[in-house]
Amino acid sequence: MKLYPAIDIRGGNCVRLYQGDYDRETVYGDDPADQAARFADEGAEWIHCVDLDAARSGDQQNLPSIAAVAARVGVPMQVGGGVRTVEAAKRLWDAGVTRVVIGTAAIENPDLVRELAPQGQVAVGLDAWGTDIAVAGWEQRTGRDLFETVASFADAGVAAFVVTEIGRDGTMEGPDVDGLAQVLATTQVPVIASGGVGAIEHLHALAALEADGRTLEGAIVGRAIYEEAFTVAEAVAALSGPSA
């Protein structure tokens, strides 16, 4: 499994939200590129980045910050937030992003995913309250079922699913292991877990997770690293050691 340390950008700053609530924000720094470089220096093989402003509005106002991260680090970047058009995805690829994460638009316009997948790496971001898919920066519930949605993209050519249990995101109370196991059992596409990791034991649990002989491709971790529950190096070791 790979560690995807998270950098969420809002107004140019590195921030974390609690359960996706824009009114419950903690600012951790004002230089995303510096933060990403520290993560890479500690052994992270990927950087996961979310443009929170774009997730809400569709306006990629943090594109310069994202391009600065890509120019600074020597590891691939996975970026989501506000990717609702072909042009928005291409702007990210042109900025040096390796994999574009499509969330709201994947639910509202699945054909966009199928159009973009042959052009570059695309992940579908599935954010849910339980099994209820949410969109627009997690602020709107859709009534769409998580597992049915996963199955619907089986032939879309996507590189990965990024699955976030919103109720656990930023809480550090533990990931939704049962839900992730069901996602693994539903698809052959690589699955990246997001939300709730707060201790090394949580990473061990994700690394040990298996369904139909398949394991998770990676885990996104944010607040636990910023709050110094463990280091990036410790997380990388936990996901790649004997228990993995």
Cβ count within 10 A of residue 203: 28
Residue 21 is predicted with a pLDDT of: 67
| Model confidence at 139: pLDDT above 80 | no
Helix or strand run (H / E) with residue 50: strand 47-51
Rounded CA-CA distance 49/4 in Å is 9
Beta bridge partners of 15: 8, 27
Local confidence band at 244 (pLDDT 50, 70, 90 cut-offs): very low
Residue 129 structure tokens: 């309250």
What number of CA atoms fall less than 13 Å from residue 130's CA on the CB side? 6
pLDDT tens, residue by residue, 223-236: 899 999 999 999 99
Residue 118 is predicted with a pLDDT of: 97
List, in order, residues 6 or more apart from 47 with CB less than 8 Å away: 4, 5, 7, 36, 39, 40, 69, 73, 75, 76, 77, 78
Tokens 């954010």: give the residue.
127
**Contact present, 30 and 13 (Cβ < 8 Å):** yes
Local confidence band at 243 (pLDDT 50, 70, 90 cut-offs): very low
Work out the average pLDDT over 105-129: 96
Q: Name the active-site residue from 8, 51, 169, 176.
A: 8
**Which residue range forms the structural domain that includes residue 216?**
2-240
Cβ count within 10 A of residue 242: 6
31 is catalytic: no
Beta strands 132-135; 121-129: pairing state: antiparallel
pLDDT tens, residue by residue, 192-229: 999 999 999 999 999 999 998 999 999 999 989 999 99
Domain count, the chain: 1
Helix (H, G, I), strand (E, B) or coil at 79: strand
CATH of the domain at 98: 3.20.20.70
pLDDT tens, residue by residue, 154-170: 999 999 999 998 888 77
127 is catalytic: yes
**Sequence-ordered strand ranges (E) for the chain:** 2-10, 13-18, 21-29, 47-51, 77-80, 99-102, 121-129, 132-135, 140-145, 160-165, 191-194, 218-221
Instruction: Pick the range with the lowest mean pLDDT from 46-55, 62-71, 136-145, 161-170.
Output: 136-145
Q: Name the active-site residue from 51, 127, 169, 176.
A: 127
Cβ count within 10 A of residue 136: 17
pTM, rounded to two decimals: 0.92
Chain centroid to CA 216: how far? 13
